[in-house]
Chains A and B, each alone.
Chain A
Amino acid sequence: MGDKFIDALEQAWGSYLTAAARFLPNLLAMFIFVVGGGLIAFLLGRAASRVLRLVNFNAICRRSGLTDLLLKADLPAPDVLLGRLVFWVVWAGFTLSGFSALGLRPAEDMVSQFFLFIPQLLAAIVMLAVGILLANFVARAALLAAFNAQWPSPRLLASAVRFFIVILAVTMALDQLSLARTVVLTAFAIAFGAIMLALAIAFGMGGREVARRALERRFPEASPAEKDEMSHL
């Protein structure tokens, strides 16, 4: 009885030691992946920021209006932001690889899903960046055109244009990431349709006078300024 108990203990201890001997190197490997990966990710992030600063990336973003948008969202400068993104993507990759080193099936699945997710993430980031750039460009063009054509509230028009394009870009980016796809698309369609309907009703019923005045301004018979004898040339 006693021998059997001791044998069982020895067997269990042996199994434990075997399992531990098999697991510990994996655990060590995971720690090395996490810590070493963190260091590599940190260095790569810093290097990415440095390279972006060298190519004057912040100035390009400032001209395109991206920096202003980031500042409004209380986010750091574009070079710092992209450096951080590089750090987190690289470190997350190393960390998940470390977990897969443990030999656990769920961790391995997560790693493969993560690496499949990276191209989608990059595509979404590019979509968002291009959307923001486009929104700022079109908004500025709309502001200047509306102002020079003497339309009422040019800034409101430009803000509306920017808002619609940014929302469209965000929706497309989220769709690319397959995040709450149905909810996002439905919400976008409802919101967009509702805004258009509201505008149509407001302009058609509530704002007939405003519409008339706007059209009169758009197609004037002959304003006093046009009756000027002055020619700019």
Chain B
Amino acid sequence: VTASRDESTGRLVHDLRTPLTLILGFAEMLHQRHGELSPEQSRQNVEWILKAARDMQEILDRAG
């Protein structure tokens, strides 16, 4: 039972890492290149962040 719980926790962590990586990456780009990005590029970055955040929410909903 413990091994199975460890495995599912490990899977959950792995699944959450992926969208989190994208959120951090695109947020980092927005933060560091704030003045250089066009409004369209900024909008696309925010869309990536939103999509990844929704993925995280879906993963957590499934796990809960």
User: Do A and B make up one complex?
Assistant: no
A→B interface (CB under 8 Å): none
B→A interface (CB under 8 Å): none
